[in-house]
Amino acid sequence: MATALGRHLALVGFMGAGKTTKGREVAARLGRPFVDLDREVEAQSGTSIEVMFAHGEQVFRDAEERAAAKVLRAPEPAVVALGGGAVLSAATRAELERHLTVLVDIDVDAAWERVRKSGRPLARNEREFRMLYEARRPVYEQVVDARAADVDGIVLAAGGVHVETGAFAQLAALVPGEGRVSLVTDRHVAGIYGAEAQLAIGGRLASEHELPSGEEAKRLAVAARLWDELAVDRTGTVVALGGGCVTDVAGFAAATHLRGVAWVAVPTTLVGQVDAAIGGKTGLDTGTGKNRVGAFHWPARTVIDPGLLQTLPAEERRAGMAELVKTGLLAGEALWELPDAELVRRAAAFKTAVCLRDPTEQGERAILNLGHTFGHALEAASGYEIRHGDAVALGLTAALELSERRYGLDPDWRARVRELLDPQPVAVDRDAARGALVRDKKAVDGRPRLVLLEAPGRPVVTDEVPLDEVHAALDALVTG
């Protein structure tokens, strides 16, 4: 699997790429220790790198190899920044094979400008510096699993998430492995992108499967049909092409087919690209609620092409904006004001970091349910006729109102969300919605567990809001 789940995230690259600075920030965002290999070399050797180089570069390289082995064999996953020449060691390259290695990109001109006055032993002669850069490039290419130029890019790489306009055309190269592929999509998406996806996958394509559109896909009968029809063995991959409903059911089928095969998510909707396809939560709906049956099964890769949003109907984009606004409120940033490619990338990086910190929702990942407890109740009460994004938009207004009462959140945020999403109350049975609320899979002893905000960027997970207050907030979302 091309992710950093359960293993070290190693950063390699030339001098001046910013591996240490970026690595510290990535480690903070992933909730991991940060290790600077150069500092480990000095600590283990009891002397400075400059002194080691004074006795010959090989003295330093030997110490670096020993330090790398110790760091990369440590059991607790960390973010490790390696020196520019650490990958010259065959032993270190062998250690890196067990971990996720990301090349931190920098061009030679920028690298020279950053380090030429640093006093580094290998950055004193520009001509030799440039020759060294060219000599090391093939070695970096040999060991890396992904490339990135900034912190968001490193975080995305750690989660196996590839965000790039035009990525859809590169699908054959981006689906990991060499085994056969089963393509799963829905009827609507198949009509737009199915033929192109088949061409992109090429000779690896073993079977194609069309699902019903929307929540109708997330039924046990649909999953059962996939189990019977998937044409891949344990070396194969399920590719899920479509919105959140497609990735939910296809990911669940992959998690359970032959006790688990690899899958790749290729989201075509805004809600899929900023939320649903990231982090490995898969699921089916039941008569008692949304996503009541599911599994955590992280995609081997998530391929996000913001260019696919150009064909998105206006109502689908509006539905996706609810998830984007939710993410912006959690991050404390107005992501919705950015151009499509950037807003998708930033939102995807935020969710990827949260999910890597808590891959099976044992704690912090619960914050991603801001607005969803109310939204899921409305969806269930409507028999899933309400669009997910519309339900979440309503749920956000309820959560923000409770946040105002309990934590003094500025009411301007609720007004801003109303302006952005224009949520309209829905006609569902109040008692059915209340029943779905207390049956929510995250409820604690019948008490709904809510995500509220002290302020944007400061979420709180609580089950201490009195039930009458929760019911009142839910009732305000219902007409009639």
- 233 within domain boundaries: yes
Residue 334 placed within a domain: no
In a domain, 350, yes or no: no
459 vs 289, 352, 403, 455, CA distance in Å? 25, 17, 10, 7
For 307, other C-beta atoms within 10 Å of its C-beta total 15
pLDDT of 480 reads 66
CB 32 within 8 A of CB 103: no
Overall domain count for the chain: 3
Q: Is residue 325 part of a domain?
A: no
Residue 74 lies in a domain: yes
| Strands annotated E in 187-325 | 205-211, 237-242, 262-267, 281-286, 289-296, 301-304
Q: How many Å apart are CA 159 and CA 179, to the nearest integer?
A: 22
Residues 261 and 383 in one domain: no
Angle at the Cα of 265 (from 172 to 300), degrees rounded to 5?
A: 75
- What is the predicted pLDDT for the residue at 442? 73
Residues 250 and 286 in one domain: yes
One domain for residues 375 and 400: yes
Domain of 128, CATH number, reads 3.40.50.300
The conformation of residue 191, written as its DSSP 8-state character, comes to: I
Strand 458-462 relative to strand 79-81, pairing: unpaired
From 296, 312, 328, the end of a domain falls on 312
Structural domain span for residue 424: 364-475
Contacts with 306 (C-beta within 8 Å, 6 or more apart), sequence order: 163, 165, 273, 340, 341, 344, 345
Same domain, 190 and 67: no
User: Cβ(134)–Cβ(43) under 8 Å?
Assistant: no
State the DSSP H helix or E strand holding residue 67, giving kind and residue range, or none if neither: helix 57-72
Does 353 reside within a domain? no
Same domain, 169 and 148: no
Q: pTM for the whole thing?
A: 0.93
Residues 170, 246 within the same domain: yes
CATH number reported for the structural domain that contains residue 468 in this entry: 1.20.1090.10
Alpha helix positions (H), 150-276: 151-158, 171-174, 187-189, 195-201, 220-229, 244-256, 270-271
Residue 200 belongs to domain with CATH number: 3.40.50.1970
Last residue of a domain, one of 277, 312, 347: 312
* H or E element that contains 90: helix 90-96
CA distance 332 to 309: 24
Residue of 193, 198, 196, 205 lying closest to 232 (CA atoms): 205
**Residue 304 carries which side chain, given as an amino acid letter?**
I
DSSP E strands, 326-475 = 450-455, 458-462
* Domain membership flag for residue 262: yes
Judge residue 364's burial from the number of C-beta atoms within 10 Å of its C-beta, 0-12 exposed, 13-18 middle, 19 or more buried.
middle
In tens, the pLDDT along 133-146 reads 999 999 999 999 99
Would residue 3 count as lying in a domain?
no
Determine the angle formed by the axes of helices 430-438 and 372-381, rounding to 10 degrees.
130
pLDDT at 170: 92
Cα separation, 205 vs 196, in Å, equals 12
Q: Which residues touch 212 (CB under 8 Å, ≥6 apart)?
A: 186, 187, 222
Q: What's the confidence (pLDDT) of residue 298?
A: 96
- Let me know whether 149 and 254 are in one domain: no
Could you tell me if 15 and 124 lie in one domain? yes
Rg (C-alpha) for the chain, rounded Å, is 24
User: What is the C-alpha separation between 200 and 24, in angstroms, rounded?
Assistant: 38
Q: Are residues 226 and 146 in the same domain?
A: no
Q: 293 and 217 in one domain? A: yes
Residue 464's Cβ-count burial label (10 Å; 0-12, 13-18, 19+) is exposed
Under DSSP, the state recorded for 76 is S
φ/ψ region of 119 (left if φ > 0, alpha if ψ in -120 to 50, else beta) reads left
Would you tell me how many other CB atoms lie within 10 Å of the CB of residue 381? 25
Question: End of a domain among 158, 174, 197?
Answer: 158
pLDDT 10s digit of each residue in the chain, 480 long?
589 999 999 999 998 899 999 999 999 999 999 999 999 999 999 999 889 988 988 999 999 999 999 999 999 999 999 999 999 999 999 999 999 999 999 999 998 998 888 888 888 899 998 998 999 999 999 999 999 999 999 999 999 999 999 999 999 999 998 999 999 999 999 999 999 999 999 999 999 999 999 889 999 999 999 999 999 999 999 999 999 999 999 999 999 999 999 999 999 999 999 999 999 999 998 877 778 899 999 999 999 999 999 888 888 888 889 999 999 999 999 999 999 999 999 999 999 999 999 999 898 999 999 999 999 999 989 988 898 899 999 999 999 999 999 999 999 999 999 999 999 999 999 999 998 888 876 777 778 899 999 999 999 999 999 999 999 999 999 996
283 and 232, same structural domain?
Answer: yes
CB-CB contact of 27 with 353 (8 Å): no
pLDDT at 289: 73
The predicted pLDDT at position 29 comes to 97
Instruction: Please tell me whether residues 214 and 277 are part of one structural domain.
Output: yes
| CA nearest to 374, candidates 352, 400, 353 | 400
* List of E strands, 98-154: 100-104, 146-148
| Pick from 405, 410, 395: nearest CA to 456 | 410
